[in-house]
Structure 1
Amino acid sequence: MTTTKVNTIQKWEEFADKALNGEILTEEEALRILNAPDEDLLQILHAAYRVRKHYYGNKVKLNMIINAKSGLCPEDCGYCSQSMTANTPVEKYRLLEKDVLVQGAKEAMQRKAGTYCIVMSGRGASSREIDQVVDAVKEIKSEMPLKICACLGILPQDKVDRLKEAGVDRYNHNLNTSRSHHANITTTHTYDDRVNTVENVKSAGISPCSGCIIGMGETKNEVYEMALELRKLDADSIPVNFLHAIPGTKLEGMDELTPSYCLKVLALFRFMNPSKEIRISGGREVNLRSLQAMGLYAANSIFVGDYLTTEGQQYSSDHQMIEDLGFEIEECAL
């Protein structure tokens, strides 16, 4: 092995050392990862795996989504097929009845998911919708050992407090992109609206979940900006989505990602947020393709089943992928 190759491997391992020591990678170091030649990919993932293994061993957390209210969203987010500005044939319906939400939780248990995510379209849940979610959460928590994650849009403190009282464990509100790129993605709410909702969640004592969507035309510097902002927010769970551009949305036709780049992004997020749950989320199947399993050397969590308006891999295939990798499903992981 040449001296240059040895030095390169040592550099990736130094990034792992920094992460384990609580140090933050510089922007220059982050760009070195994202711009690394693909021949260095295995070494980068090995270094990320050292960090992942330190905090999570070989365990994988599973999460399942229920699209509890679909379509008719007044926001103009360019990636979203449920936006009223999108010309997409998505199913539209109001908030599902309590019995349907409870049945979804039972399905999550069957799929060995530890977290059940109740997700609504719209700017933010109304008081009546909060009442409906609260009723469903109370019944689910009384019957099943599930972590409940709610994703109900931009919420003020009083509504978040009600969710906490009902037993909601986690609240998801993604930053989605960087502050500097936000106006290119949506104009109907601000970046600070999103940050403030996450802060309200933390104030209520609910575990904050916030992540991003990669592949929306952002620069690599902005990818670093996202990872750094999520570290500052101290999000416990960070879903990393990869754009699955839907025909009829503002971002239709955008296809700038490769599997190797997606893996480098996951490694960067592990180095930047070493102790946090890093979840490979929407667009996993489309963008990582045959390299999906490799993502688990950096990430420790995935969604099983379908997403909001797009289909996911069969959950039995996800179980098999985890088993083939020699990893272990962390059932009912709380």
Structure 2
Amino acid sequence: MPLTESAKPTDILELARTKVLDQGIGLDQGETLQVLQLGDDRITEILELAHQVRLKWCGEEIEAEGIISLKTGGCPEDCHFCSQSGLFESPVRSAWLDIAGLVEAAKQTQKSGATEFCIVAAVKGPDDRLMNQLEQAVAAIKAEVDIEVAASVGILTQEQVDRLKAAGVHRYNHNLETARSFFPNVVTTHTWESRRDTLRMVAAAGIEVCSGGILGMGESLEQRAEFASDLAELNPTEVPMNFLDPRPGTPFADKEVMATADALRAIGAFRLALPKTILRFAGGRELTLGDLGTEQGLLGGINAMIVGNYLTTLGRPMENDLDMLDKLRIPLKVLTTSV
């Protein structure tokens, strides 16, 4: 017996239009999964709705960020995607950047039009030497460059969180990386909970939370939806979206690159799950999406991007990304201010 109009199940994008676009309430885990399960013929529809959500709840501006590594390589952790692990036979070797180098990098980032500069270190968590150098770097940058300073130096103690707050770090990045249920397939030397606990301390201290991860590491669609729900529980200011770029010498070196259609569907789904969050293009977009897919993402829910190179892989020249924003008539602007 055919369903009457009133008895027909509501299409997930119709539901999202009411719940997310009209009310600003993100999709829950089950609803996000329904979006991820939609066919390729509906990707354009997903992205168009995600773009409307982004415009209504975040505005039209795009935030650009440059990142630099204070300490590269030699990390004791076994994150299976990362060539900076000292446990793998990968080509990245340990190196430190001095304060003058960090200040110069911040100046170049600011000149490009970017509004945020993130200092990153390949460590499980910072020792006192690293904390001292980070504090000096933040002070030196703030003295010479008009740019927001963020940091990403791993798992923190409460005392370290307090020091970063006092130094003027306005946003802290520590990626959950993937869904809680999939995390043991990606990292075995520390727990998903240790990452979450750091982020909770950061938020309680009044530092903006930046946490995302990498898609395409072998997680199921159910786990992708779980990951979006995990992130939503943190209420992050920013979620970086990376796509696996298989690195030589790592356990994930032979994994296939995520299909463009799957990446675009995920971008739209994450925007519908996180309607008011800064959703940032990060590593792997050049390989997974190319120029056309990047443009589709910018018109499909993304409202921030890392410009220039990443930590161990090359990105596009900053000028190319800024030219793309100009072509799409998307303005560049600081979306948040220091806490």
Q: How does 1:10-29 map to 2 (within 5 A)?
A: 11-20=12-21, 21-29=23-31
> Using the alignment, how far apart are the partners of 2:205 and 2:182 within structure 1?
29
> Using the alignment, how far apart are the partners of 1:92 and 1:81 within structure 2?
11
Aligned 8 A contact 1:65 1:117 in 2: yes
Shift of the alpha carbon at 1:58?
Answer: 2.2
What corresponds to 2:5 in structure 1? none
RMSD: 1.9
What corresponds to 1:72 in structure 2? 74
Per mean C-alpha deviation after superposition, the further-off stretch among 311-320 and 32-41 is: 32-41
- Say whether residues 1:313 and 2:338 are aligned partners: no
Q: How does 1:156-167 map to 2 (within 5 A)?
A: 156-167=157-168
Aligned 8 A contact 2:24 2:276 in 1: no
> Using the alignment, how far apart are the partners of 1:194 and 1:161 within structure 2?
17
Secondary structure in 2 aligned to 1:279? Answer: strand
Q: Which amino acid aligns with 2:293?
A: L
Q: How does 1:97-246 map to 2 (within 5 A)?
A: 97-246=98-247
What corresponds to 2:47 in structure 1? 45
> Using the alignment, how far apart are the partners of 1:250 and 1:313 within structure 2?
26
> Using the alignment, how far apart are the partners of 2:201 and 2:72 within structure 1?
25
Aligned 8 A contact 1:112 1:331 in 2: no
Secondary structure in 2 aligned to 1:101? Answer: helix
> Using the alignment, how far apart are the partners of 1:253 and 1:221 within structure 2?
23
> Using the alignment, how far apart are the partners of 1:107 and 1:8 within structure 2?
53
Q: Which amino acid aligns with 2:119?
A: I
> Using the alignment, how far apart are the partners of 1:59 and 1:218 within structure 2?
32
Q: Which amino acid aligns with 2:305?
A: I
Aligned 8 A contact 2:24 2:57 in 1: no
> Using the alignment, how far apart are the partners of 2:118 and 2:254 within structure 1?
29
How many residues align? The count is: 328
Aligned 8 A contact 2:29 2:228 in 1: no
1:117-154 Cα offsets, whole Å, 9 max, x none, are: 10000111111211111111112123322111100011
> Using the alignment, how far apart are the partners of 1:185 and 1:17 within structure 2?
36
1:51-104 Cα offsets, whole Å, 9 max, x none, are: 10012332111011101111100001100000112211113213x211111111
Shift of the alpha carbon at 1:8?
Answer: 11
Secondary structure in 2 aligned to 1:231? Answer: helix
| Structure 2 unmatched runs, 5+ | 1-7
> Using the alignment, how far apart are the partners of 2:280 and 2:288 within structure 1?
15
> Using the alignment, how far apart are the partners of 2:18 and 2:198 within structure 1?
33
- Say whether residues 1:56 and 2:58 are aligned partners: yes
Q: Which amino acid aligns with 2:31?
A: E
TM-score (norm 2): 0.92
> Using the alignment, how far apart are the partners of 2:17 and 2:149 within structure 1?
32
Shift of the alpha carbon at 1:256?
Answer: 4.8
With over 3 angstroms needed to count, the CA separation of the structure-2 counterparts of 1:331 and 1:236, relative to structure 1, is closer
Secondary structure in 1 aligned to 2:77? Answer: coil
Q: Which amino acid aligns with 1:241?
A: N
With over 3 angstroms needed to count, the CA separation of the structure-2 counterparts of 1:24 and 1:59, relative to structure 1, is closer
> Using the alignment, how far apart are the partners of 2:257 and 2:137 within structure 1?
40
- Say whether residues 1:82 and 2:116 are aligned partners: no
With over 3 angstroms needed to count, the CA separation of the structure-2 counterparts of 1:18 and 1:165, relative to structure 1, is same
Shift of the alpha carbon at 1:25?
Answer: 2.1
What corresponds to 1:3 in structure 2? none
What corresponds to 1:34 in structure 2? 36
> Using the alignment, how far apart are the partners of 2:305 and 2:10 within structure 1?
28
> Using the alignment, how far apart are the partners of 2:183 and 2:333 within structure 1?
35
> Using the alignment, how far apart are the partners of 2:93 and 2:129 within structure 1?
22
Aligned 8 A contact 1:73 1:82 in 2: yes
Q: How does 1:232-311 map to 2 (within 5 A)?
A: 232-289=233-290, 290-297=292-299, 298-311=301-314
> Using the alignment, how far apart are the partners of 1:80 and 1:308 within structure 2?
10
With over 3 angstroms needed to count, the CA separation of the structure-2 counterparts of 1:8 and 1:54, relative to structure 1, is farther
> Using the alignment, how far apart are the partners of 2:280 and 2:17 within structure 1?
19
> Using the alignment, how far apart are the partners of 1:320 and 1:17 within structure 2?
35
Per mean C-alpha deviation after superposition, the further-off stretch among 278-287 and 322-331 is: 322-331
| Structure 1 unmatched runs, 5+ | 1-6
Identity %: 37
TM-score (norm 1): 0.93
1:266-318 Cα offsets, whole Å, 9 max, x none, are: 11111111111000111010101131111112110000000000000111110
Match of 2:326 among 294, 298, 323: 323
Q: Which amino acid aligns with 1:225?
A: E
Q: Which amino acid aligns with 2:25?
A: E
Shift of the alpha carbon at 1:332?
Answer: 8.6
